[in-house]
Structure 1
Amino acid sequence: MRTQIAVVGAGPAGLLLAHLLRLEGLDAVVLETRQREHVLSRIRAGVLEPGTVDVLREAGLGARLDRAGLEHQGFSLRFDGAEHRIALTELTGKSITVYGQQEVVRDLLDAAEPEPWFGVSDVVLHEVTTDRPSVTFTDADGIARTLHCEVIAGCDGFHGVSRNAVPVTCCERAFPYSWLGILAKTPPAHHELIYAHHERGFALHSMRSPELTRLYLQVAPDERLDDWPEDRIWEELVLRLGTACEPGPLVEKGITSMRAFVAEPMRHGRLFLAGDAAHIVPPTGAKGLNLAVADVALLSKALTSLLLHGRDGNALSYSDVRLRAAWRAERFSTEMTEMLHRSADPFEQRLSLARLRRVASSTAAATALAQDYVGSSEGA
């Protein structure tokens, strides 16, 4: 088998990269260890920055997004028993769009040509520092194959094989709390997102559609799902959010650890990392999917310049440019996380409240927060 670009991973980063490359006339083959149904069922991020929406529209992927996406011009911060609205559009001239990551993936799979190779195993990357790398794998029928290519794009997440093929320096941080998240078949309790700082811990009210609500609670890192029956979850959400949430059937329930991670560099020879293979941000800042889209938007241009025109400048600078954006996103996401979560340290807890009060009382501070939230012109 032969192609120009082997894309490892059929998440939003890998699928979008392959789509953008095909629009430029390049061949790309996508390999994925999971089955198609699993890829479509993964419930992840739902907040799209305007830059992300622009990329999807320009790639011909905006039809369903424009019909079903929910435009939001602000969000609420709730603390000290009061609500403080961050007016994104008023402060920045921009808005965000709520549209689930799994919906983006569905749009990408509907547009994919050819279909990704799902259910592969034993994926190994070879000769990535040469101009003739390859990928060996076993397909879903148990047949061993070799995919020869000119470039490999590692879009297979933190636990994938691509990151381990790059001699990276890893910078990591684990936070002393986790998120208990649910997706429920119930109308949202508020027309915008709510970020709540409460004495019992952080809570987030989000949505995926007018019928689906996404909700999160700060819990201890060693918390067990069995300790959180549905009645307890809904009671705690109402208490922390200060909003009457109507209980509904749960579509998903899980606990996610809170961590940050950056791998440096994001390029090794002809192997390029993108998305969660290169960086993970705390979800509080809603940056993960947006960062991945910005990665592959730049990478598609760099690979087009390299493979079609023989110019390697953008490919050589890709890692440096995207790492600067990754660290901007890490900075903002970490600040949001520490500001909104309940800390067991009295000093940190009082700092969090001081930061929130400043945002609520200072137009300059609220504007800075809003600009970070909607995404900078530099793609972070």
Structure 2
Amino acid sequence: MTEHTTVVIVGAGVAGLTLGNILLRNGIDCVILEKYGREHVEQRQRAGTIDSRGVRMFREWGLEEVLAHDAPTEVDAGFFLDGEELPIDFSADDNDSVFLPQQVLVRNLTDAFLRAGGDLRFEADSITLENLEHPVVRYGDNVVTAGFIAGCDGDRGVSRTAFPAGVLTRYSREYGYAWLSVLAEVPANPSGMAIHSRGLAGMLPRGPHASRTYLQCALDDDLAQWPDERVWSELEARFGRPVASGRIADKRLVPLRNVVHSPMQSGKLHLLGDAAHIVPPMSAKGIHLALFDAEVFARGVIRQAKENDPSLLDSYSETCLSHVWNYQAFAAWITDIMHDAGDASYAGEFRKRVARAELERQFTSAAAGRLFAEFMAGVA
């Protein structure tokens, strides 16, 4: 049996679920296909910072409910340089960001979509996309034709591979180090980021009784080199003070990179979020870019459906890429500064001193601090 819908959304992550919720509330029919089961999707551990722009976007579309959570909204975070805590002012007028574990946001978006009568199909195996000018989506024994396809299935999904050969250009930068990312069942204490000659470290809340910690490490490290005892001792060394320890629930190595695929559309297939671009986690802008893409695409579909005006959809890639490159620049800048200012074995002593001068400017220059605050709030 062949079905038809206005938009097939491939992937039930932040971008896909946000898009589905916006479309549903504006009378646009859509189907979300997700290859994994609901339990798997809602337990995937990811970072979770929704900046001011994202918070305002959800409110403007009537989706403020998805921001509800039991984690502390206000986080007493510090910035540590060689063990010395430096003051950070988070009181920018336009900064009402929310620290929300990404799996909680996904769960809230899923609940909101289903409550509104949305069509969300988990365990949609073997998804294929055909005829991008008149889209056909197949999975299992099912066939769905669509006006548009939103590829929200991440960096390793099927959407980007459906682009015709030679259409996409991949731009990337690989950093010379990785992060050991650790999910621990312990409150973040201390909380914040630490720059040290041993490398960068971070400890951030992921709920009242959980934290995500990060340790800069070599690209060729493996998990066997990082037993739990070493994780806690290294955090203490880099923060320069005792660190609350506890059970480690998850541990993985994450090479840092910037990636952009251009263009972000081919025919009626549009890429959103990680399917189109990756930013280093240091910038905390992955969710920001996913939400921006979702809103731009949603506005385009709504304009097309209600006014028969394709202009916003036609310019989708250009609009998104202009924003993406702006935040790639910020992501590369903050990643370089925070890492170069610590362990000089990666970029050299000259770059370390330059990076520290740039850091000092953030604390002493109102203009520099304001620009940084705008990027962190997502309004730059």
TM-score by structure 2 length? 0.92
1:62: how far off? 2.9
**Aligned counterpart, 1:163:** 160
The answer as to whether partners of 1:8 and 1:162 remain within 8 angstroms in 2 is yes
The within-5 A match list for 1:1-380 is 1-63=3-65, 65-72=67-74, 75-90=77-92, 92-113=93-114, 114-128=118-132, 130=133, 132-138=134-140, 144-166=141-163, 167-190=167-190, 193-341=191-339, 342-343=343-344, 344-346=346-348, 347-376=350-379
Structure 1: distance between partners of 2:89 and 2:76:
4
The AA in structure 2 aligned to 1:22 is L
Structure 2: distance between partners of 1:373 and 1:74:
16
1:367: how far off? 2.0
Instruction: Report the more deviating stretch, 323-332 or 235-244.
Output: 235-244
The answer as to whether partners of 2:34 and 2:124 remain within 8 angstroms in 1 is yes
1:77: how far off? 2.7
Structure 1: distance between partners of 2:274 and 2:235:
29
Q: Which runs of 5+ in 1 are unaligned?
A: 139-143
Instruction: Report the more deviating stretch, 47-56 or 259-268.
Output: 47-56
Question: What CA deviation, in whole Å up to 9, does each residue of 1:96-118 have, x standing for no partner?
Answer: 21111111100011122335222
The answer as to whether partners of 2:9 and 2:33 remain within 8 angstroms in 1 is yes
User: Once superposed, which parts of structure 1, at least 4 consecutive aligned residues long, lie more than 4 Å away?
Assistant: none
Question: What CA deviation, in whole Å up to 9, does each residue of 1:216-253 have, x standing for no partner?
Answer: 10011111111111111001111112342211112221
Structure 2: distance between partners of 1:313 and 1:64:
30
1:82: how far off? 2.3
The AA in structure 2 aligned to 1:97 is V
The answer as to whether partners of 1:86 and 1:366 remain within 8 angstroms in 2 is no
1:213: how far off? 1.2
| Closer, same or farther: CA 115–227 of 1 in aligned 2, 3 Å | farther
The answer as to whether partners of 1:72 and 1:96 remain within 8 angstroms in 2 is no
The AA in structure 2 aligned to 1:152 is I
Structure 2: distance between partners of 1:37 and 1:257:
27
The answer as to whether partners of 2:52 and 2:94 remain within 8 angstroms in 1 is no
Structure 2: distance between partners of 1:185 and 1:12:
24
The AA in structure 1 aligned to 2:223 is L
The AA in structure 2 aligned to 1:205 is M
Question: What CA deviation, in whole Å up to 9, does each residue of 1:311-331 have, x standing for no partner?
Answer: 011111111111111111111
1:42: how far off? 0.9
Seq. identity, %: 35
1:363: how far off? 2.4
User: SS in structure 1 opposite 2:87?
Assistant: strand
Q: Which runs of 5+ in 2 are unaligned?
A: none
The AA in structure 1 aligned to 2:332 is T
User: SS in structure 2 opposite 1:71?
Assistant: coil
TM-score by structure 1 length? 0.92
User: SS in structure 1 opposite 2:246?
Assistant: coil
1:33: how far off? 1.5
The AA in structure 2 aligned to 1:360 is F
Structure 1: distance between partners of 2:357 and 2:74:
27
The answer as to whether partners of 1:61 and 1:107 remain within 8 angstroms in 2 is no
User: SS in structure 2 opposite 1:21?
Assistant: helix
User: SS in structure 2 opposite 1:4?
Assistant: strand
Instruction: Report the more deviating stretch, 73-82 or 14-23.
Output: 73-82
**Aligned counterpart, 1:141:** none
User: SS in structure 2 opposite 1:257?
Assistant: strand
User: SS in structure 1 opposite 2:126?
Assistant: strand
Structure 2: distance between partners of 1:155 and 1:234:
36
The answer as to whether partners of 1:74 and 1:95 remain within 8 angstroms in 2 is no
Structure 2: distance between partners of 1:293 and 1:249:
33
Instruction: Report the more deviating stretch, 51-60 or 103-112.
Output: 51-60
User: SS in structure 2 opposite 1:43?
Assistant: coil
Instruction: Report the more deviating stretch, 172-181 or 357-366.
Output: 357-366
Structure 1: distance between partners of 2:47 and 2:237:
24
